Structure 1
Amino acid sequence: MSLANSLASISIVLVKTSHPGNVGSVARAMKTMGLGDLRLVSPRFDDIASHEEAVALASGAVDVLQQARVYNSLPEALHDCHRSYALSARLRELGPVLQSPAVAAAEVFEARASGLNSAFVFGAERTGLTNEELQQCNRQVYIPSNPVYNSLNLSQAVQIVCYALRVEGELRTGADVPQVPNPEKRGAAAVNLATAEAVAQLQTHWLTAMERVDFLNPDKPKKLIQRLSRLLGKAQLEQEEVDMLRGFLSDVVRVADGRLYPHEAGGQRSRSE
């Protein structure tokens, strides 16, 4: 696959962006490095991508703004992504696996070689990503900076990530540059990783089963939900694995509810007669 097609498949997701100018600057940063899939989650203004300030600061990247899609929630924006990378300078005790932009870029291109989609997620200008939003991503990307003052403008952070992706992509498609081996590659067949939406549904199913067997008290979950979310984020489950786990969880819920299979119910009636 060409560099242009690979970069075009990578999504930039902005969550709860307030300033139209930042959206325009992000579009410019993306197009400069060859990216074009911009997704907006609950922006302050519904028409933020067409705002006069956004168009002005896009400086020729208006096509990226025009193609931008708006979503009501982060899971909706990540529905077709197999890997998601949260940008945050704040380290959490139970946060996703931590990576640099360069390491994340290398992983993205390895995934793309198998046809998998990736997204980089950026939080609101003033508050960044919440713990819940961070937990919905598979990795956390940290941009090394001055520990005394590490405040990056939103578009600056996007530019750094897009640059890392561009550099990695050029290395991989250069005629004289050897391909970087993938130590996790398992044979020639592409790995059918589950999407973010499928993993989120698995987590909901898992929590339901925990409640049914009294393993989880929904009123006092402590850190169980966060730990489960982190576990699923690290696992990078294949769709077949998600299907297997959900089948098992369905049986757990069935047994906990005292429901029998038809053949079991018939056998029970025979014995009682």
Structure 2
Amino acid sequence: MQTPSPRVQEQLAQVRIVLVRPVGPRNLGAIARVMKNMGLRQWVLVDPRCDPLDPEAVTMAVHGADLLRQARQVPTLAEALQGCVQVFGTAGRREPYPPEWQVQSPRQAFPELLAAGPVALVFGPEDQGLSNEELALCHRQIQIPTDPAYPSLNLAQAVGICCYELRTLLCPDPPLPPSPGLSKPAPFELLEGFFGQLEALLLQIGYLYPHTARRKMLKLRALFHRAGLTVSEVALLRGILRQLQWSQTARRRNLPQDD
């Protein structure tokens, strides 16, 4: 995983995950784990209905158990949101919401969330989600796009998706560094040696005939050129060809001789 810059770490530290009346210790453990995976550490439990240090929560959190001990607990959502300049509430239900609300996906909404300052991302209870009154305390409402056939998400899954969206927005994947030798493009002479060996074997086994070899080899050349073979890939293919040539020669030696 890419190490975030100090600026990105500061932005992540401004994000507060708020869980309203969570009931499942296993969910709390899974959320602690994914928060730590994605570099988020600040969270608040509003009137929780389970103990964040329940053995099931600790087991699910694995190396994120320290976040369970750090979770702040408050009695009301309003108290959990103190100091936040932007609050995003997650809307999980499918019935119509007030027309004044512009419900967005996390990917649409999060660029503005990260540009704000201290912000909160609020999730409702597992069984019913946030009420309209609770969503009305939020500045914006977001909803994770899901298939209409089964739209309901588990709480830990919803938090995990949102944490991932935040992380990828701040830390886009860098290009993977090339592996020395493995991704080096094969030079002209190496490819020509391969094509010569391939043509000889295909003539030997009767796939090619002298009068059609040129036309078919043009097609095979085009195929391998499109593949953009590397040095190591050509070496792999030539090793296969050598084994096939040896097998073909050995088979012919073992054929019974005509009297």
State the TM-score, normalized to the length of structure 1. 0.59
1:30 is aligned to 35
Cα shift at 1:96: 3.4
Three-state SS of the structure 2 residue aligned to 1:50 is coil
2:59 is aligned to 56
State the TM-score, normalized to the length of structure 2. 0.62
Is 2:90 the counterpart of 1:87?
Answer: yes
Map of 1:120-131 to 2, 5 A cutoff?
120-131=121-132
Three-state SS of the structure 1 residue aligned to 2:149 is coil
Cα shift at 1:11: 0.6
- Given that 1:88 and 1:141 are in contact with CA atoms closer than 8 Å, whether structure 2 keeps it comes out as yes
Is 2:133 the counterpart of 1:132?
Answer: yes
Match of 2:49 among 44, 50, 54: 44
Aligned residue identity for 1:70 = Q
Cα shift at 1:37: 0.6
1:162 is aligned to 163
Cα shift at 1:101: 0.7
**C-alpha RMSD of the superposition:** 1.8
Cα shift at 1:94: 4.7
2:201 is aligned to none
| CA deviation string 1:152-199 (max 9, x = no partner) | 11010001100110011114x98xxxxxxxxxxxxxxxxxxxxxxxxx
Three-state SS of the structure 2 residue aligned to 1:54 is helix
% identity of equivalent residues: 43
Three-state SS of the structure 2 residue aligned to 1:49 is coil
| CA deviation string 1:184-236 (max 9, x = no partner) | xxxxxxxxxxxxxxxxxxxxxxxxxxxxxxxxxxxxxxxxxxxxxxxxxxxxx
In the alignment, structure 2 segments of 5+ residues that lack a partner are: 1-5, 175-259
Cα shift at 1:103: 1.9
Pair member with larger Rg: 2
Three-state SS of the structure 1 residue aligned to 2:171 is helix
Output the CA distance in 1 between the equivalents of 2:24 and 2:100.
27
Give the ranges of 4+ consecutive aligned residues of structure 1 lying more than 4 Å apart after TM superposition: none
Output the CA distance in 1 between the equivalents of 2:53 and 2:37.
19
2:224 is aligned to none
Output the CA distance in 2 between the equivalents of 1:105 and 1:169.
10
Output the CA distance in 2 between the equivalents of 1:16 and 1:66.
17
| CA deviation string 1:30-59 (max 9, x = no partner) | 1111101111000113xx111111111011
Output the CA distance in 2 between the equivalents of 1:94 and 1:117.
27
Map of 1:169-184 to 2, 5 A cutoff?
169-171=170-172
Aligned residue identity for 1:64 = L
Cα shift at 1:8: 2.0
| CA deviation string 1:76-103 (max 9, x = no partner) | 0001111111111324125633121112
Output the CA distance in 1 between the equivalents of 2:126 and 2:99.
23
Output the CA distance in 2 between the equivalents of 1:132 and 1:95.
14
Cα shift at 1:14: 0.4
1:100 is aligned to 105
Output the CA distance in 1 between the equivalents of 2:29 and 2:147.
26
1:16 is aligned to 21
- Given that 1:24 and 1:55 are in contact with CA atoms closer than 8 Å, whether structure 2 keeps it comes out as yes
- Given that 1:83 and 1:117 are in contact with CA atoms closer than 8 Å, whether structure 2 keeps it comes out as yes
Cα shift at 1:5: 2.0
Is 2:123 the counterpart of 1:118?
Answer: no
Output the CA distance in 2 between the equivalents of 1:159 and 1:98.
19
Output the CA distance in 1 between the equivalents of 2:104 and 2:71.
27
Aligned residue identity for 1:32 = N
Map of 1:110-259 to 2, 5 A cutoff?
110-111=115-116, 116-171=117-172
| CA deviation string 1:9-35 (max 9, x = no partner) | 201100011111111111111111110
In the alignment, structure 1 segments of 5+ residues that lack a partner are: 175-273
Report the CA distance shift for 1:128/1:95 in structure 2 as closer, same or farther (over 3 A). Answer: farther
Output the CA distance in 1 between the equivalents of 2:157 and 2:100.
23
